[in-house]
Amino acid sequence: MIRVQDLSLTLKEDESVLKNKIAKKLRIGEADIQQYRIFKKAIDARKKQDIKIVYTVDVETKKEKELLKKFPNLKTPDLNYYYPEVGDKVLKHRPVIVGSGPCGMFAALILAQMGYKPIVIERGKAVDARVQDIEAFWKEGKFSPISNVQFGEGGAGTFSDGKLTTQIKNVRCHKVLEELARFGGPEEIRYKNKPHIGTDVLRDVVKNIRHEIERLGGSYRFETKLTALRIEEGELKAVQINDNEWIETEVCVLALGHSARDTFKMLYEHSVNMVQKPFAMGMRIEHLQDWINSSQYGDTHKDDPKLGAAEYKLVHHASNGRAVYTFCMCPGGYVVASASEEGMVVTNGMSEYARDAVNANSAVLVNISPEDFGSEHPLAGVELQRKLEILAYELGNKTYKAPLQRVGDFIEGKITTELGIVKPTYEPGVVFSNLREAIPTFMGEAIVEALGVFGKKIKNFDHPDAILTGFETRSSSPIRIRRDEAYECNIKGIYPAGEGAGYAGGITSAGVDGIEVAEAIIQVYKPFSKA
């Protein structure tokens, strides 16, 4: 096929005119175009009075040979996924995958598609039961340490915006998007420049993928936690679950989320090699989505349905040497309670597919380096996270309510006493606080400086009535479990992968890492056979 780039449509033009624009650009007749499909679709809002939708399309035409002879660079790249060659080592037991988030899910899917019959163990519940537990927490304050926003089928990403953008350049990204679309994701994620699924749709997608893995011979065990390892002469022999049962296996994928703190501790005690890793902490900021739409698209086009809810991504290098950046921006979404341990408050963001809620929110984070940890212990970053989460719980009157401060009050360093235009979306509720006083001085100074800079880029970003909710501590893992070129750690047969192990940051990159780890296993072992 021929790849045609930079086809622009105004907001008034319908996609049906694409065929005519393709023909003109290739200097062929419309009748010469047999079919075309959209490969990429993006919004160009640099000129707010003349916003364009820009397309890249792949075209099947009778004149392909003729065109490629003149312009060989028009050839559509091959993005098909090719399964790796199978190894020759006998797999005595079924591979075990710890965690059913995007990394574990895609590792399991690839292994299942190749006949390896993986066992997926997940400490949390299946997604439908998980939804009920989370709703009970948000509405009634009934917290479950095993079934929450961090733990359960689909991982933390299931209760997010379902954002699929990534900075990595890897052909497997296309495989991730194709499978998510095949199992119920919106068709547009195959080609949209900034694809997202939304928490409401993603819940069904992860369930559909689980059913496919089971159909192919794999199995899931929910409410099942990894509690110990059996290691002999540096090789994995079995994994213990729930402190009372052993599963024999020589292959275990550690697709841990970044909140599996007790598992990190267990792995450290089993001499699994891990090191400290930089991460970031901060707060959730909320604005009216209408403000963001107006700033990004202009008042004329802010409500155009072709554009949808506007996004942003901002970064500032503060004068004190800290980087401040927005993360996991959720257009038309909610700030959600995301604790995974009792007596701690954690915030995150979530949007449904329609992104039609009143508020926009994102994390405003400050980089944290190992020098800030106060210890050289590999798990010192975890303790730093906990310290801020316990503080948030105490500021929220120990009820899982979250501490909140208006941006104007944060800048002035005074406690909030009343709300303005922006109303909080966090449940189980909020308590007025002075977050500026509660956080380390370097964080407060850097965020105040960044708010002013961001306000010049996005109008109303530093509006006094915008609100900050504390704290967001789980943007990424504070550790990295070291692995070699074969994706194994220092214990043979253990494959650290995904966000928790320090090798991904988001749904797509975690899925890609899961695929790569599965490929590494496939290249060594034959598919599992009971015979």
Give DSSP secondary structure letters for 323-360.
Answer: EEEEEEEETTEEEEE---STT---EEEEE-TT--SSEE
- What's the maximum distance between 2 C-alpha atoms anywhere in the chain? 72
**Pairing, β 96-98 against β 119-122:** parallel
Tell me if domain 2-72 and domain 96-275+477-522 are identical in fold: no
Tokens representing 401 are: 């309510």
Q: Look at residue 167 in the predicted model and tell me its pLDDT.
A: 87
Q: Look at residue 371 in the predicted model and tell me its pLDDT.
A: 96
**Pairing, β 467-472 against β 252-254:** unpaired
**Range 288-315 average pLDDT:** 97
pLDDT tier at 296, thresholds 50, 70, 90? very high
pLDDT for residue 531 is more than 70:
no
Tell me the CB-side half-sphere exposure of residue 46, using CA atoms within 13 A. Answer: 3
Q: Look at residue 530 in the predicted model and tell me its pLDDT.
A: 72
CA distance 236 to 414: 55
pLDDT for residue 41 is more than 80:
yes
Q: Are 381 and 370 in contact (CB under 8 A)?
A: yes
pLDDT tier at 393, thresholds 50, 70, 90? very high
pLDDT tier at 253, thresholds 50, 70, 90? very high
pLDDT for residue 123 is more than 60:
yes
Residue 116: is it exposed, middle or buried by C-beta count within 10 angstroms (0-12/13-18/19+)?
buried
pLDDT for residue 528 is more than 90:
no
Q: Residue 127: what residue type?
A: V
- Which segments within 189-322 are labelled E, that is strand? 219-222, 226-232, 235-241, 245-248, 252-254, 274-276, 279-288, 315-317
pLDDT tier at 381, thresholds 50, 70, 90? very high
Q: Check residue 85 and report its DSSP letter.
A: P
Q: Look at residue 237 in the predicted model and tell me its pLDDT.
A: 98
pLDDT tier at 340, thresholds 50, 70, 90? very high
Residue 245 has φ and ψ, to the nearest 5°, of -145, 140
Q: Look at residue 314 in the predicted model and tell me its pLDDT.
A: 98
pLDDT for residue 274 is more than 90:
yes
* % pLDDT > 70, the chain: 100
Residue 207: is it exposed, middle or buried by C-beta count within 10 angstroms (0-12/13-18/19+)?
middle
Q: What share of the chain is helix, strand, coil (3-state, %, to 5)?
A: 30, 25, 45
CA distance 286 to 303: 19
Place of tokens 């155009």: 304
**Range 432-446 average pLDDT:** 97
* % pLDDT > 90, the chain: 98
Q: Are 88 and 191 in contact (CB under 8 A)?
A: no
Domain 2-72, CATH among 1.20.1740.10, 3.10.129.10, 3.30.2130.10, 3.30.70.2700 = 3.30.70.2700
- The residue count of the chain comes to 531
Instruction: Please give the model's pTM, rounded to 2 decimal places.
Output: 0.96
Give residue limits of the domains in the chain: 2-72, 96-275+477-522, 279-472
CA distance 97 to 92: 16
CA distance 223 to 242: 9
Q: Look at residue 529 in the predicted model and tell me its pLDDT.
A: 81
Q: Are 357 and 351 in contact (CB under 8 A)?
A: yes
Q: Look at residue 401 in the predicted model and tell me its pLDDT.
A: 97
**Range 234-263 average pLDDT:** 97
> Which CATH code is given to the segment(s) 96-275+477-522?
3.50.50.60
pLDDT for residue 235 is more than 70:
yes
